Amino acid sequence: MENLKQIINPYLPSWEYVPDGEPYVFGDRVYVYGSHDKFNGDVYCMLDYVCWSAPVDNLGDWRYEGVIFRKDQDPHNTDLQGNLYAPAVTVGPDGRYYLYYVLSSWGIVSVAVCDEPAGAYEFYGYVHYKDGTRLGDRPTDEPQFDPAVLTEGDKTYLYTGFCGVGDTSRHGAMATVLGPDMLTIEEDPIFIVPGEAYSHGTQYEGHAFFEAPSIRKKGDTYYFIYSSQLFHELAYATSDSPLGEFTYRGVLVSNGDLNIDTYKPAEKPMCYCANNHGSMVQILDDWYIFYHRHTNGTNYSRQTCFEKLVEREDGFFEQAEITSCCGVKPLRGEGEYPTYIACHLFNKDPEMTYVPWSGWMDDRFQKITQEGGDGDENLGYIANMRPGNGVGFKYFDCKGVKKLSISTKGYATGVMEVRTAWDGPVIGTLPIGYANVWMTTTADIAIPDGVQALYFAFNGQGHLQFRSFTLHV
């Protein structure tokens, strides 16, 4: 299909901040639901739920479906102190679409319903026991968090939980069985994957449950996906039953590309490591893992990405490498590309690559950001590149690239070095001078033919803003 758009990470516009992406295929479209961060936000998930969708055969063509649920629609949230944390969606026995969520201020599972996958959802009720007590309100209940749902026949399996490292008051990920009304509990919660405090000596040690439960079914196998105690990775376990026992299988993706050792040491982070949330989905014949990255030097402006998954010999999945092309097809080796599609942002000191729990990184870091305010449709770019900072883009199908241009500005002087590997030899440089408006610089730099990564590193003095680069053939 010649009219297919290129598939680029992040796959939504650079001014959209939708983390915690839960993808589902309904009909001939894939729909992504998530929480909704704010550019320059103060905390997580400050905005209302929105939805985006794309044709299953054109994953570069995403459509904005609009706001699907507002936080003021929950009767408990009249003071608007509760933000809408990560949601999940399932189709009930009645054919309607049910959206499950937990407010940031309340450990109770709320439900909204709609006749269409991306229509306007209406509040429906709270998950509760048969006596009317809400799940999370019993003295023996653990707080509910990050619901995931899977409906089979008249039963809906609800997965929830949050377990901080060292917290013995919470035991792990929970599974609860709901009846056909999508609210009433038929089988009380059980624990299926332990938190860190209860994982020692088990198969989950080192990759215990932290948060972000998600559930999918592949053939006859149930996949439980979750964010591990390491925060940056989405791990998974499988079972032949929705209630377990589950067997730990490995990692699907890390937003820092940790554990990957094919092009770097496994322990070297290639992008900022912080919390992660997402899930896998089958689209046509292939499986993909959705996850999120951190922008603007903060925990609170996250963007959703996805990568194509590759099956291992045992039938399960290898860890996906983070890329600018979603692991689907190399980008064209010609034309202009915005730098917000960088999959790698790294520094001389690997310890600087972890986003602190305080939420904000200091001026040593380069970051993907944008001009203007939240909602302004301005392309993102890389700000605050300092000497030794590097950025990487993967992958491009290059043929006959002889020149390269960059668009930069800032109080900086020196050169921009170009490589095809993060630690490879410099294949060319472009001069950098002081500029207070965007300035384009071009140099004769030949990119070897074939599928290539591109890395740029600033060597000089000052700090640089890097908007785009152009490959000339």
pLDDT tens-digit readout, 109-134: 999 999 999 989 999 999 999 999 99
Alpha-carbon distance of 451 to 30, in angstroms, equals 28
Question: In this structure, which CATH number among 2.60.120.380, 2.115.10.20, 3.30.1360.200, 3.30.300.30 belongs to the domain 22-329?
Answer: 2.115.10.20
Which of 100, 93, 95 has its CA nearest to residue 33?
A: 100
- Residues belonging to the active site: 20, 211
Show the tokens assigned to 224: 């439980």
Mean pLDDT, range 24-31, rounded to an integer:
98
Alpha-carbon distance of 173 to 454, in angstroms, equals 40
pLDDT band at 2 (very low <50, low <70, confident <90, very high): very low
User: What percentage of the chain carries pLDDT values higher than 90?
Assistant: 93
- Is a pLDDT exceeding 90 seen at residue 145? yes
Alpha-carbon distance of 1 to 432, in angstroms, equals 40
pLDDT tens-digit readout, 418-471: 999 999 999 999 999 999 999 999 999 999 999 999 999 999 999 999 999 999
Mean pLDDT, range 396-405, rounded to an integer:
98
| CA dihedral angle for residue 434, residue 437, residue 442, residue 445, rounded to 10 degrees | 70
- Residues 273 and 353: beta-carbon distance below 8 Å: yes
Domain(s) labelled CATH 2.115.10.20 in the chain stretch across: 22-329
pLDDT band at 346 (very low <50, low <70, confident <90, very high): confident
pLDDT value for 388: 86
Range in 55-69, 198-212, 347-361 with the lowest mean pLDDT: 347-361
pTM above 0.75, yes or no: yes
pLDDT value for 347: 81
Mean pLDDT, range 135-151, rounded to an integer:
97
Alpha-carbon distance of 414 to 458, in angstroms, equals 7
pLDDT band at 364 (very low <50, low <70, confident <90, very high): confident
Residue matched to tokens 């103060």:
42
Domain(s) labelled CATH 2.60.120.260 in the chain stretch across: 336-472
Residue 300 — φ and ψ, nearest 5°? -105, 10
pLDDT value for 356: 62
- Is a pLDDT exceeding 70 seen at residue 371? yes
pLDDT tens-digit readout, 263-312: 999 999 999 899 999 999 999 999 999 999 999 989 999 999 999 999 99
pLDDT value for 359: 63
pLDDT value for 188: 98
In this structure, whether the domain defined by 336-472 belongs to CATH 2.60.120.260 is answered with: yes
Show the tokens assigned to 198: 């209860």
